[in-house]
Amino acid sequence: MRPREQGLLVALLAVLVVVGFYSLVYRPRTEEVRRLEAQRQQLVSERQRLEALVASRPEVERRLEEARGRIAELETKLPSARDIPVLLVQLDDAVRQSRAKITLVRPGPLQAPQAQQAPAQRGGQQQAPPEQPQYQSFTVELGAEGDYVALVDFLQRLENFPRLLVLSDFRMTPVQQEGRPPGSFLALSVRATTYVLPESGEAPR
């Protein structure tokens, strides 16, 4: 074999060796390195997320305790069913101490909010019973007459009532009285709603 042919053969073998090394060794190793690097980055991100979660745990626990405290404080302002007569007496005393003339104190029935319907299940299975609400609502219709200052005093006593009251349906109309300028004497009606906790072992009706 001539020297020129031998050189070409050696060059061809060298090219084959390089191509084989690239295809069989270098490229698979490079892809494996990339895959492992991507996994490492995911693990680093997950570790950072977990570290941040652990670091925020005291703050989360503090907020949870604050929420529990607010719920407990709110529940102290919710009367139980047996406290309704006392609540009505307290409410009547509070509004009658105002400067306004009380014209109406009419309590409504004790009601439970509508329970949410459970979604229908497939396959003919029975529906789960709807979740029962944990409170009942109790509404009192209130009416008063007086000048603007007297009615403001009336509303402030409702807002400062020791029990939780939600005021709604405000209606104010002028009342004509002899010897008074038009619009100086007003009639006010308002609805006060509170939420009643059932007694222990008593389900909302």
pLDDT at 80: 60
- Quick one: pLDDT at residue 201? 42
Question: Within a domain: residue 201?
Answer: no
Closest CA to 170 of 182, 186, 194: 186
Per-residue pLDDT at 191: 92
Q: Does residue 185 share a domain with residue 102?
A: yes
1 and 14 belong to one structural domain: yes
Is residue 186 in some structural domain? Answer: yes
Do 69 and 90 share a domain, yes or no? no
Round the CA-based radius of gyration of the chain to a whole number and report it: 39
> Same domain for 1 and 24?
yes
Question: pTM for the complete prediction?
Answer: 0.49
Assess contact for 154 and 188: CB atoms under 8 A.
Answer: yes
* DSSP conformation letters of 150-175: HHHHHHHHHHT-SS--EEEEEEEEE-
Alpha carbon of residue 195 to chain centroid = 17
Domain co-membership, 62 together with 157: no
Residue 120 is assigned to a structural domain of this protein: no
pLDDT of residue 125: 53
**Neighbouring C-beta atoms of residue 194, cutoff 10 Å:** 21
Number of domains in the chain: 2
Same domain, 103 and 67: no
Whether residues 66 and 4 fall in one domain: yes
**CA atoms of 71 and 121, how far apart (whole Å):** 34
The whole domain housing 20 covers 1-76
The answer on 91 and 170 residing in a single domain is yes
pLDDT at 187: 92
Q: Mean pLDDT in runs of 10 for the chain (205 residues)? A: 70 77 78 87 88 83 77 60 73 84 85 57 51 71 90 89 85 81 85 75 43
CATH of the domain at 91: 3.30.70.60
pLDDT at 2: 66
